[in-house]
Amino acid sequence: MAPNDPSNSCIRMMAPRPWCLPFPYVPEPFPDELLSSWLRRTGVEYGISLEQLAQHIGISTTKPAYIDQDLSRDEIGRLAGAMRVERAEIRQRLYQPLRPQVRSLRAHRAPIQVCTSCRAQHFAAHAQPVFIRTWFEFWRIECQACQRALSSLGSPALDRCNPAREHPGWFSGIMPAARHGAARLHLYARRPFSAVLPPVAVLCLLSKPLTPGWPDDEVIRYGGYGVADLFVPGLSEITREQGILVPEVWTIKKPVRLVTARIILLAALSHFLADPKASFRRVRDTAGFGVGSFLERWVSALPPHARSSIC
């Protein structure tokens, strides 16, 4: 066959790129470490960037966010060969696919929380930053490696309520319900949830203040407090002492740290989803259901099948 035969060059262009040899040394991954974080640390051992490492192995994308969620079967095989592990090890370091409605509950660029204990171990063992999958996921409240509560990023905000410090007995008491609510939200984020009410819609409801549409005496009693007060034992007493505890919208207004508000909301979510119909009636009976109330607006925004199940 002639060297400049066009059909021959076409065959050569389509030939799959050979897999690279396994790296002689691969640093040990940390528990639940994201694939891009592990690859970046491996590249540092060889004096190359994550982008150069990805190109060397033959991965089409070099951005961490895409490496962690958009790899083909061939690329997973290439990585497993290069990193001297089974394909399953690579897969378990990727993000799980999420339902479109809840994708915003996962951060892509920077963690929303950390485990301070594990992070200290990372710093002690390795100069490079380590990124753990659960630090990016809103529904995670405890570290998967050491079971400690996850913390907000940055230094503590002393001007905010901190029930974990000021009411430790009460806060530990709502943790079992919060774990249950977190598990339900995690389940929903990954696949269709069996309850008619989407947990994210319930979280939004629980974040609302109980003020519009209320009789005067009820406004005095509950005014300014959140729907979550109705479902988390003891929350309304603490709220009276310390001001509004549950944020109006958890990602915008944060009288408490996000991690604290999230635990309160997840505890309430667990209770609410145990019997959405009864729970919704409780909110409606307490708050009133007048025209223009936030509750009515909330209900009218729900899908028809969800509306009929709670009204």
Closest among 226, 296, 275 to 255, alpha carbons compared = 226
Q: By CB under 5 A, name the one of 118, 264, 273, 302 that touches Zn ion.
A: 118
99 Cα distance to chain centroid:
12
- Interacting stretch for Zn ion, rule CB under 5 A, among 115-123, 159-167, 218-226, 275-283? 115-123
Residue 115 interacts with Zn ion (CB under 5 A): yes or no: yes
Q: How far apart are CB 22 and Zn ion at their closest, in Å? A: 30
- Interacting stretch for Zn ion, rule CB under 5 A, among 34-42, 101-109, 117-125, 257-265? 117-125
229: three-class secondary structure by DSSP? helix
H or E stretch at 151: strand 151-152
137: three-class secondary structure by DSSP? strand
Q: How far apart are CB 128 and Zn ion at their closest, in Å? A: 18
106: three-class secondary structure by DSSP? strand
Residue 143 interacts with Zn ion (CB under 5 A): yes or no: yes
Residue 185 interacts with Zn ion (CB under 5 A): yes or no: no
Bridge-based pairing of strands 113-114 and 151-152 is antiparallel
Residue 35 interacts with Zn ion (CB under 5 A): yes or no: no
Q: How far apart are CB 200 and Zn ion at their closest, in Å? A: 26
Q: By CB under 5 A, name the one of 146, 249, 278, 311 that touches Zn ion.
A: 146
Q: Which tokens go with 205? A: 């409801």
Q: How far apart are CB 67 and Zn ion at their closest, in Å? A: 23
Q: Which is it for the CA torsion 97, 276, 182, 208, positive or negative?
A: positive
Residues in contact with Zn ion, shown as a per-residue x/- string from 285 to 304 under the rule CB under 5 A: --------------------
Tell me the C-alpha distance between 276 and 270, whole Å.
Answer: 10
The widest CA-to-CA distance across the chain, in whole angstroms, is 94
Residue 145 interacts with Zn ion (CB under 5 A): yes or no: yes
Contact positions vs Zn ion (CB under 5 A): 115, 117-118, 143, 145-146
